[in-house]
């Protein structure tokens, strides 16, 4: 030791000393440059990666809301299923993991030369299969739970056991296996009785023997094959019938579960009166980055019954602040990821087998649960990532619209009572395929279970809803100049500055508004007319006094007595279309005169 020290002091003398000092400075400089370069790279990368930044970036099918939650707009359009690609490409499993790719849930960049393949193969699954194939099926993920969730202690020995059911049709090998492996790696063995994979008549070669070989060493993993394509409901029922665990846990085939995901689900589902969903995080369909989604959201639906994420009610938010680890109620579930006690699942009638391929079964299950005495909840302590995509990659035998409309008609006819009349009135294409005889068995089930009405559900489970009702005025509010009060025809659900819109005929929901007894002027997906600073805007309804209006004769007034007015001076259109809305002192100006044209809602 002493000897070494002498060497060192020798070295540090004279010119050597200077050289060493120089080297140290150089190392420091190189490090600093590297750090700056990395930071810059990350910044630039983040700017290009929409998943990471909340904002109003959107396309025709989805947008990020102000909380960074991806909102899928409307129904899926059936994709091309990659049918234009050569057979050997469609049937190949090109999984070949690259060390460290996607570890920790980080995004994966691909080389320029791979971009073309990634693009060409995109329609196979509507996610980036080149990226997925580079990421290990055993990749690590961040633990995004809150501290209060991590602190919860579970009585493991007394939790019910789970059967995890994963259904798939033509799923990619790497995403499917990553789902399975994440469950195996991140669940306590004693809690998982079985993992049942149900193949809904897939046609891809790699999902045959290659898949069987891949799972052969995992004794708890079983593979069932649906002899005929039924869609996800039929496939899930097949899995549920084979389940031996106490609790059924359903997952889509492109999920990744994270640390501690199972215990909160099992603890809550043990109570036998609840369908409990994990908190769904985002896996980017492009980079496969795992992104934490907004802390609290609940599932609901638009006037046309498209599923939407919305901000939870104030009561729910307050309760969550008090106890962030406590599961909270949601009007509906997204559909793919939930846990339910097997006995409750069957007692409430399993699924409606008449619902085929894809769509609406999440509404059916949620309404049935609430209306028939059970609950639907979300627990933030169970975090599962899911790849959200904008298109459906597989075929819809019989046609996309026919399938979707059939499923919608079934759930509407069985569960919505007088609200079915509302829905059918404005959705004649769905009304055209309704056939009440075919749902007789489900109506009977509803009767036998003694379920409550749809109105009860709206009033009690979702009092913040934006549907018309007996005590709400519904119709068209038309300015004296000719234009109508309606949300801007941009992407639905995105608020913003309000302006007068063209009027629509009676049978189009786009031009119709609800005026509540409390004074909210609301439209589809829960946007309310709000007095902003100067301008009037459409914002998510929030009980704020700026969102209350009074009808005084032909005028619409704020609580402080200002009049809702079209600003026409810079707008040449004589009917006022496109003119912004504002609130000013009341006068005789026709831009302040509104005609209330009631439209029967059912």
The one of Mn ion, ligand LR7, none whose footprint includes residue 385, by CB under 5 to 8 A per kind, is none
CB of 252 to Mn ion, least distance (A): 4
The one of ligand LR7, Mn ion, none whose footprint includes residue 71, by CB under 5 to 8 A per kind, is none
The one of Mn ion, ligand LR7, none whose footprint includes residue 475, by CB under 5 to 8 A per kind, is none
Q: Is 252 in the site for ligand LR7 (CB under 6 A)?
A: yes
Length of the chain: 602
Question: How many Cβ atoms are within 10 Å of 305's Cβ, its own excluded?
Answer: 20
DSSP 161-196: PEEEEEEESS--HHHHHHHHHHHHHHS-GGGEEEEE
Residues 528-557 that bind Mn ion (CB under 5 A): none
CB of 520 to ligand LR7, least distance (A): 27
Closer CB to ligand LR7, 173 or 549, in the complex: 173
The one of Mn ion, ligand LR7, none whose footprint includes residue 423, by CB under 5 to 8 A per kind, is none
The one of ligand LR7, Mn ion, none whose footprint includes residue 359, by CB under 5 to 8 A per kind, is ligand LR7
Q: CA triplet 241, 347, 302: central angle to 5 degrees?
A: 95
- Torsional class of 100: left (φ above 0), alpha (ψ -120 to 50), beta (otherwise): left
Distance between CA atoms of residues 80 and 400, nearest Å: 12
Q: Is 278 in the site for ligand LR7 (CB under 6 A)?
A: no
User: Given CA atoms 230, 171, 257, 156 in this order, what sign does their dihedral have?
Assistant: positive
- Per CB under 5 A, the list member of 252, 352, 377, 524 interacting with Mn ion is 252
- Buried b / exposed e across 210-227, counting CB within 10 Å, b at 16+? ebeebbeeeebbbebebe
Beta carbons within 8 Å of 100's beta carbon, 6+ residues apart: none
Distance, C-alpha 565 to centroid of its chain: 37
Question: Is 303 exposed, middle or buried (CB count within 10 Å of its CB: 0-12, 13-18, 19+)?
Answer: buried
- Per CB under 6 A, the list member of 357, 374, 411, 566 interacting with ligand LR7 is 357
- Per CB under 6 A, the list member of 169, 268, 341, 442 interacting with ligand LR7 is 169
Distance between CA atoms of residues 596 and 422, nearest Å: 20
The one of Mn ion, ligand LR7, none whose footprint includes residue 541, by CB under 5 to 8 A per kind, is none
- Per CB under 6 A, the list member of 253, 344, 485, 509 interacting with ligand LR7 is 253
Segment near ligand LR7 (CB under 6 A); pick from 30-38, 142-150, 239-247, 333-341: 333-341
- Per CB under 6 A, the list member of 69, 162, 167, 403 interacting with ligand LR7 is 167
Q: Is 231 in the site for ligand LR7 (CB under 6 A)?
A: yes
For 421, the token pair is 């009349």
C-alpha atoms less than 13 angstroms from C-alpha of 485 in its C-beta half-sphere? 34
- Per CB under 6 A, the list member of 121, 125, 383, 386 interacting with ligand LR7 is 386
CB of 237 to ligand LR7, least distance (A): 11
Helix (H, G, I), strand (E, B) or coil at 55: coil
Q: Is 281 in the site for Mn ion (CB under 5 A)?
A: no
Q: Is 369 in the site for ligand LR7 (CB under 6 A)?
A: no
DSSP state of 63: E
The one of Mn ion, ligand LR7, none whose footprint includes residue 253, by CB under 5 to 8 A per kind, is ligand LR7
Q: Is 305 in the site for ligand LR7 (CB under 6 A)?
A: no
Beta carbons within 8 Å of 528's beta carbon, 6+ residues apart: 520, 521, 522, 538, 539, 540, 541, 542, 547
Distance between CA atoms of residues 129 and 100, nearest Å: 17
The one of Mn ion, ligand LR7, none whose footprint includes residue 331, by CB under 5 to 8 A per kind, is none
Segment near Mn ion (CB under 5 A); pick from 249-257, 296-304, 432-440, 555-563: 249-257
Beta carbons within 8 Å of 429's beta carbon, 6+ residues apart: 401, 405
Segment near Mn ion (CB under 5 A); pick from 200-208, 250-258, 270-278, 513-521: 250-258
CB of 512 to ligand LR7, least distance (A): 26
Residues at the contact surface with ligand LR7, assessed by CB under 6 A = 167-169, 171, 200, 229, 231-232, 235, 252-253, 280, 307, 334-337, 357-359, 361-362, 386, 388, 392, 394
């Amino acid at each position: 030791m002493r000897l070494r020290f002498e060497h060192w002091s020798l070295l540090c003398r004279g010119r050597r000393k200077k050289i060493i000092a120089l080297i140290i400075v150089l190392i420091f400089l190189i490090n600093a440059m590297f750090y700056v370069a990395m930071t810059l790279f990350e910044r630039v990368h983040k700017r290009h990666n929409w998943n990471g930044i909340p904002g109003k970036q959107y396309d025709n099918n989805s947008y990020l809301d102000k909380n960074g939650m991806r909102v899928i707009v409307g129904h899926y359009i059936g994709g091309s299923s990659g049918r234009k690609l050569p057979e050997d490409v469609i049937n190949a499993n090109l999984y070949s993991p690259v060390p460290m790719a996607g570890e920790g849930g980080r995004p994966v960049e691909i080389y320029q030369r791979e971009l073309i393949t990634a693009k060409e193969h995109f329609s196979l699954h509507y996610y980036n299969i080149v990226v997925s194939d580079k990421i290990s099926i055993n990749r690590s993920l961040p633990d995004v739970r809150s501290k209060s969730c991590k602190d919860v202690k579970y009585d493991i020995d007394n939790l019910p056991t789970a059967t995890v059911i994963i259904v798939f049709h033509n799923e990619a090998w790497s995403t499917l296996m990553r789902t399975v492996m994440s469950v195996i790696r991140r669940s306590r063995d004693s809690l998982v009785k079985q993992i049942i994979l149900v193949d809904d008549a897939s046609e891809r070669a790699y999902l045959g023997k290659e898949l069987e070989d891949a799972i052969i060493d995992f004794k708890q993993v079983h593979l069932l094959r649906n002899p005929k394509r039924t869609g996800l409901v039929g496939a899930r029922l097949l899995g549920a019938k084979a389940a031996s665990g106490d609790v059924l846990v359903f997952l889509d085939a492109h999920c990744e579960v994270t640390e501690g995901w199972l215990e909160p689900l099992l603890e809550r589902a043990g109570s036998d009166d609840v369908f409990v969903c994990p908190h769904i995080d985002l896996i980017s369909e492009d980079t496969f980055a795992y992104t934490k989604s907004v802390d609290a959201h609940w599932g609901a639906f638009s006037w046309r019954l498209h599923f939407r994420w919305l901000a939870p009610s104030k009561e729910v938010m307050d309760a969550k602040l008090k106890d962030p680890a406590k599961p909270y109620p949601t009007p509906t579930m997204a559909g793919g990821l939930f846990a339910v006690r097997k006995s409750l699942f069957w007692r409430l009638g399993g699924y409606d087998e008449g619902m085929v391929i894809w769509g609406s079964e999440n509404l059916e299950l949620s309404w049935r649960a609430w209306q028939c005495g059970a609950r639907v909840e979300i627990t933030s302590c169970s975090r599962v990532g899911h790849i959200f995509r904008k298109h459906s990659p597989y075929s819809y035998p019989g046609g996309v619209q026919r399938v979707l409309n059939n499923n919608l008609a079934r759930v509407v006819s069985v569960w919505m009572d007088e609200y079915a009349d509302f829905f059918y009135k404005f959705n004649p294409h769905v009304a055209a395929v309704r056939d009440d005889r075919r749902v007789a068995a489900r109506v009977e089930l509803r009767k036998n279970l003694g379920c409550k009405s749809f109105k009860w559900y709206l009033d009690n489970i979702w009092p913040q809803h934006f549907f018309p009702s007996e005590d709400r005025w519904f119709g068209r509010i038309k300015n004296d100049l000719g234009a109508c009060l309606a949300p801007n025809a941009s992407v639905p659900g995105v608020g913003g500055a309000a302006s007068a819109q063209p009027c629509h005929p009676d049978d189009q929901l786009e031009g119709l508004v609800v005026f509540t007894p409390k004074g909210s002027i609301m439209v589809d997906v829960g946007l309310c007319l709000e007095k902003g600073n100067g301008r009037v805007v459409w914002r998510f309804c929030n009980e704020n006094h700026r969102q209350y209006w009074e009808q005084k004769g032909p005028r619409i007034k704020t609580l402080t007595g200002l009049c809702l007015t079209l600003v026409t001076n810079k707008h040449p259109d004589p009917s006022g279309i496109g003119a912004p809305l504002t609130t000013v002192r009341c006068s005789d100006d026709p831009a302040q005169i509104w005609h209330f044209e009631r439209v029967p809602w059912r």
